[in-house]
Amino acid sequence: MNVQICVGSSCHLKGSQIIIELMQAALEKNGIQDKVNLSGSFCMGVCNRVGVTVSVDGEPHTGITRDNFSEFFREHILEKLK
Ligand code: FES
């Protein structure tokens, strides 16, 4: 699975770094770091007012924040790897 976290200027200001850290920790905690190819991305053109854009296998998800990260991770990464 390819997961890209946007580090474009808008997403960067809204916490890309925090999302990268949460992502790395969650992948490790679930022992799936080998199944996910994690990388950064330039602006995906879907900047959201509240959060960061993360694409999963080419499908962008907007508005990811510290608060909704766990839900996003479970629904769009963990569940899809099962
Ligand atoms: S800066 Fe992330 S989608 Fe534009």
Q: Give the model confidence (pLDDT) of 48-67 as tens digits.
A: 889 999 999 999 999 999 99
Q: What is the pTM of this model?
A: 0.95
Instruction: Identify the residues whose C-beta falls under 6 Å from ligand 1.
Output: 6, 8-11, 43-44, 46-47, 53
Three-state DSSP at 3 gives strand
pLDDT score recorded for residue 28: 98
The atom of ligand 1 lying closest to the CA of 48 is 3
Query: Which residue has 């996910």 as its token pair?
Result: 36
Three-state DSSP at 43 gives coil
pLDDT score recorded for residue 48: 87
For ligand 1, mutation pick of 4, 5, 6 (most atoms within 8 Å of CB)? 6
Distances from the Cα of 19 to the Cα of 33, 42, 66, 80, 82, angstroms: 15, 15, 7, 19, 22
Domains of the chain: residue spans and CATH: 2-81 (3.40.30.10)
Flag residues of the chain having pLDDT under 70.
none
For residue 46, the Cα-to-chain-centroid distance in whole angstroms is 14
Separation of 50 CA from ligand 1 center, angstroms?
11
